Amino acid sequence: MQAQPIELGVREGYARWAASYDAEWNGLIAIEERHAEEMLRDVSLGATLDLATGTGRHALRLAARGARVAALDQSPEMLAVARREARARGAAIEFLLARLDDSLPFVDGAFDFAVCALVLCHLPDFGGVVRECARVLRPGGHLLITDFHPAAVARGLRTTFRDAEGTYWLPNPPHTRETYLGAVAAARLRLLEVRDLPVREIPPGYAREAFIREYADTPFGLLVLAAR
Burial track 202-217 (b if 16+ CB lie within 10 A, e otherwise): beeebbeeeebeebee
CA–CA separation, 174 vs 157, rounded Å? 11
Cα separation values, 86 from 22, 47, 63, 91, 111, Å: 14, 17, 10, 5, 21
Q: 140, 109, 115, 141: which is closest to 130 by C-alpha?
A: 115
Domains along the sequence of the chain with CATH: 6-227 (3.40.50.150)
Query: Is 65 exposed, middle or buried, given 0-12, 13-18 or 19+ CB atoms closer than 10 A?
Result: exposed
> Quick check: 222 pLDDT over 80?
yes
pLDDT (0 to 100) of residue 101: 84
Instruction: Decide if pLDDT at 1 tops 50.
Output: no
* Cβ count within 10 A of residue 147: 23
Angle (CA) 25 94 30, round 5°:
15
Per residue in 77-129, pLDDT (tens digit) is 999 999 999 999 999 999 999 998 889 999 999 999 999 999 999 999 999 99
Would you say residue 55 has pLDDT above 70?
yes
pLDDT in tens, 64-77: 999 999 999 999 99
Confidence of residue 130 (pLDDT cuts 50, 70, 90): very high
The model's pTM is 0.96
What pLDDT digit, counting tens, does each position of 90-100 carry?
A: 999 999 999 98
Residue pair 64/91 in contact by the 8 Å Cβ criterion = yes
Confidence category of residue 166, pLDDT binned at 50, 70, 90: very high
Residue at 27: amino acid letter:
G
